[in-house]
Amino acid sequence: MKSKTVNNLIVKMLAVMLMTGFSSNSFSQEDHTHFSKVFNREKPYRIFLPEDYYTSQKRYPVIYFFHGNKGSHIPRLSATMEQLVKGNPVIMVAWNGRSVDSDIRPYNIGFHSNINYEAQFKDYFPELVEHIDSGYRTLAGRSNRAVIGHSMGGIMSFFIAGKYPSMIGTAVNSKGSPEFFIGYPDNHTLYPVRYMFKNLHGVNLRFHNSTVGELVYLNNEVNQGALHEGGLEYEYQVYEGGHSLTPKEFTDAFNFVMSSFKDPSPVPKRWHHADLYPNFEIWGYEVTSNLNEPGFIEMKGVTTGGMRITTKKWQPYGRVIPGVEINVKTPPVYEPGTIYSLFDYNETQGQTEVKTVKSDSEGSIRFSVNHESHQIGIYKANGPAEIVFAGYNVDGQGTFLSHKKECNLKLRLLNRGGSISKEATVTLSTFNKNVKIEKPELKVNNLQPGGLKWIPADFKVTASNKPTADGAPFRVKFHLIITDNGNTWEDEFEAPVMYDVPVFSNIGIDDGDSEIFGSGNGNNIAEPGEWVMIYEVSHRTRLYYDDPYIDGERIHVDLQPDKWGDGYALSSIIHISEDCPIGHQIKFLACYEVKEWKAIKRNVTWGVFTITVGKEE
């Protein structure tokens, strides 16, 4: 009897010692599995718990770590992660990014041949979060949830945070891949990170680059993309050395997240989102569609007063995708069971429609649009005005700014709200220091509900910026602040510059003779009704234009030889409309790129040229 009592006491003492941290492990690192409905199998993960997890009743914020190529849920820096978590009130979860256990390439993303599975990690992330939140004492709000990813996990950190900004308050991308195809084996879309920062407003961001290694130059482009977007909570850090993730770099990322937990970004009152899946939820909006080909559904300038919504074949300047029908259900932000006006200005067709809708019992509103570009306004009778950008022209005609010359930039505004704007002040600005705006403030009067109006005066703009030597964003981004009677609205738009660059003089036209790209009669002359690809010497070109007789474009993607297969070369295949007059001249700004093999550096060459439809060049 005495021996049994002593044994029981020893067992209890050992249990107390383990629970109070006397073990060398202190329960701070555990490997588990859970059943995933997405993958229909057990998925492993490693969880790091703070030292006092089993001796307190506190709840903790959570960091999710996304490994890179050849990695798994057992991170190389597990010892560093364990020490950081032990000393801080946080839980860290390292997920497993392999679609099947034998894969060493994670996340089912990359070039076409790398996308082999229907199961999507964008579906797995919410499932894993639900498992962790239900099984551990977590602080479940977005301001207490972060992601850190390295390399292929780096692109996933920004992709997942941009997919679910209502779930994730902080994202760190360490030397991430700059662009990959994402989606299903038979339907996937190129996701260029440098053009997708629009999805990340409201998220605290940090991006790491290195001084040497395979992705340095491509990630310079990504950083330029963040600066081009503007208005982000964004930090950028370059580390000496190569592509690997060092303990110092991970510690810096961890400390950034811990600081962000204390100072989260608020939910943005106005936001943008572009999604490559047909059905998605974003900031409480439910979007469904019949999109069944590569491309995006894009929502811009979303507020309770409305949004711009459209389809795009590619980002950022893709054409619309015919045949797509989009259905939107708003979050319950309107008065329940109340009649609202639904204003729809079809920007593609220049047509306006106003109809009444009734919010449901919870305060949500439903509407549908087709594939074209729509400005939607939602307001009650005599509701407030809401002024947005509706178009521009340069010197009374095209969309290109002349290079190094003063241009007359005329803006068109739309009131998608329910009341008149009697006198609005419009302030134009740009982050580009080489673009000057004379008298950046103009006024427009009496903008009626549903009304479109050109600002009577023009902004005087001189664009002296240089074309980019790599794949960084090259258009000028303008920002608008519009004020009227105490109300303030914001908007933005981009304008290309017809750069003062050399003329491409060795033009070749493929109109079907290659039997690969163009299609037509194969006589190497651009003619009405033909699809053509245009070469400068042997280089396929990417084309920029504002000619009405080009009524279609496809993008060809090349995986140029390099060490890792990162950074794709894009070229244009354009369609000359059936009604284009013979002898019509079309002017292009064009570029082509050549990559350096080991550095994976894009070297972009710009030029201008003109073709005459129906005549040999």
HEC profile of 163-192: HCCCCCCEEEEECCCCEEEEEECCEEEEEE
Give domain status of residue 359, yes or no. Answer: yes
pLDDT digits (tens, 9 = 90+) for 189-211: 999 999 999 999 999 999 999 99
Q: With CA atoms as reference, report the closest residue to 388 among 501, 308, 304, 464.
A: 308
**307: which 2 tokens?**
């949004």
Q: Three-state SS across 356-378?
A: EEECCCCCCCEEEEECCCEEEEE
Q: What would the mean pLDDT of 338-361 be, rounded to a whole number?
A: 98
Residue 21 pLDDT: 38
232 neighbors 226 (Cβ within 8 angstroms): yes
Asked if the peptide bond before residue 185 counts as cis, ω within 30 degrees of 0, the response is: no
Q: What would the mean pLDDT of 233-261 be, rounded to a whole number?
A: 98
230 neighbors 477 (Cβ within 8 angstroms): yes
Residue 564 pLDDT: 81
Give domain status of residue 2, yes or no. Answer: no
Rounded to an integer, what is the distance from CA 553 to the centroid of its chain? 22
Residue 5 pLDDT: 34
Statement to judge: residues 469 and 517 lie in one domain = no
pLDDT digits (tens, 9 = 90+) for 116-145: 999 999 999 999 999 999 999 999 999 999
Q: Cα–Cα distance between 585 and 566 in angstroms, integer? A: 37
pLDDT digits (tens, 9 = 90+) for 311-320: 999 999 999 9
Count CB-CB contacts under 10 A for residue 439. Answer: 10
47 half-sphere exposure, CB direction, 13 A CA radius: 25
Own/partner pairs, 513-520, CB within 8 angstroms, 24+ separation: 517/556, 517/573, 518/573
Query: Which residue type occupies 590?
Result: A
Give domain status of residue 445, yes or no. Answer: yes
More confident residue, 67 or 595: 67
Statement to judge: residues 131 and 222 lie in one domain = yes
167 neighbors 145 (Cβ within 8 angstroms): yes
Statement to judge: residues 134 and 41 lie in one domain = yes
The model's confidence at residue 97, banded by pLDDT at 50, 70 and 90, is: very high
Statement to judge: residues 318 and 460 lie in one domain = no
49 neighbors 30 (Cβ within 8 angstroms): yes
Residue 563 pLDDT: 73
517 neighbors 510 (Cβ within 8 angstroms): yes
Give domain status of residue 148, yes or no. Answer: yes
Strand-strand pairing, 204-210 and 170-174: parallel
Asked if the peptide bond before residue 502 counts as cis, ω within 30 degrees of 0, the response is: no
Q: Cα–Cα distance between 530 and 613 in angstroms, integer? A: 10
Residue 13 pLDDT: 37
Q: What is the CATH number of the domain that holds 35?
A: 3.40.50.1820
Angle ∠(289,293,294) on CA atoms, nearest 5? 110
Q: What would the mean pLDDT of 226-255 be, rounded to a whole number?
A: 97
Rounded to an integer, what is the distance from CA 536 to the centroid of its chain? 31
545 neighbors 589 (Cβ within 8 angstroms): yes
Task: Decide: residue 127, CB within 10 A, 0-12 exposed, 13-18 middle, 19+ buried.
Answer: middle
Q: Cα–Cα distance between 353 and 345 in angstroms, integer? A: 6
Statement to judge: residues 563 and 516 lie in one domain = yes
Statement to judge: residues 42 and 190 lie in one domain = yes
Domains: count for the chain = 4
Q: With CA atoms as reference, report the closest residue to 89 among 66, 128, 65, 62.
A: 62
> Which range has the worst mean pLDDT, 401-415, 471-485, 562-576?
562-576
Q: Cα–Cα distance between 176 and 60 in angstroms, integer? A: 27
Q: With CA atoms as reference, report the closest residue to 231 among 491, 495, 497, 494.
A: 491
Q: What would the mean pLDDT of 521-536 be, rounded to a whole number?
A: 97
Residue that finishes a domain, picked among 379, 409, 440? 379
Residue that finishes a domain, picked among 199, 230, 262? 262
Residue 18 pLDDT: 39
Give domain status of residue 162, yes or no. Answer: yes
Residue labelled with tokens 């998605």: 280
| Residue 154: DSSP 8-state | H
Statement to judge: residues 364 and 338 lie in one domain = yes
Statement to judge: residues 416 and 462 lie in one domain = yes
The model's confidence at residue 218, banded by pLDDT at 50, 70 and 90, is: very high
Q: Cα–Cα distance between 575 and 579 in angstroms, integer? A: 11
Give domain status of residue 183, yes or no. Answer: yes
Residue that finishes a domain, picked among 262, 288, 310? 262
**Residue 16, pLDDT above cutoff 60:** no
Q: What is the CATH number of the domain that holds 464?
A: 2.60.40.10
Q: With CA atoms as reference, report the closest residue to 182 among 124, 107, 274, 127.
A: 107
Which DSSP helix (H) or strand (E) runs through 415? strand 406-415
On average, the pLDDT of the chain sits at: 94
Statement to judge: residues 160 and 298 lie in one domain = no
Statement to judge: residues 203 and 247 lie in one domain = yes
Statement to judge: residues 353 and 209 lie in one domain = no
Q: Cα–Cα distance between 530 and 576 in angstroms, integer? A: 6
**Residues facing residue 62 across a β-bridge:** 91, 145
Give the three-state DSSP class for 379. strand
What are the distances in angstroms from CA 336 to CA 113, 303, 345, 363?
49, 18, 25, 4
Residue 515 pLDDT: 87
Global pTM reads 0.94
Q: With CA atoms as reference, report the closest residue to 427 among 391, 390, 386, 481.
A: 481
| Residue 30: DSSP 8-state | E
**Residues facing residue 408 across a β-bridge:** 460
Give domain status of residue 321, yes or no. Answer: yes
Residue labelled with tokens 């073709």: 611
Residue 27 pLDDT: 54
What are the distances in angstroms from CA 558 to CA 73, 565, 595, 606?
33, 10, 11, 18
Residue 426 pLDDT: 98
pLDDT digits (tens, 9 = 90+) for 33-89: 999 999 999 999 999 999 999 999 999 999 999 999 999 999 999 999 999 999 999
Statement to judge: residues 370 and 297 lie in one domain = yes
Q: With CA atoms as reference, report the closest residue to 420 among 484, 481, 374.
A: 484
Q: Cα–Cα distance between 282 and 164 in angstroms, integer? A: 7
pLDDT digits (tens, 9 = 90+) for 325-341: 999 999 999 999 999 99
Residue 599 pLDDT: 82
**Residues facing residue 330 across a β-bridge:** none
Residue 616 pLDDT: 83
Give domain status of residue 9, yes or no. Answer: no
First to last CA, the chain: 105
- Calculate the CA dihedral of residues 488, 489, 494, 500 and round it to 10 degrees: -20
**39: which 2 tokens?**
């993958």
| Residue 385: DSSP 8-state | P
Q: What would the mean pLDDT of 522-531 be, rounded to a whole number?
A: 97
Q: Which domain holds residue 368?
A: 271-379
**Residue 489, pLDDT above cutoff 50:** yes
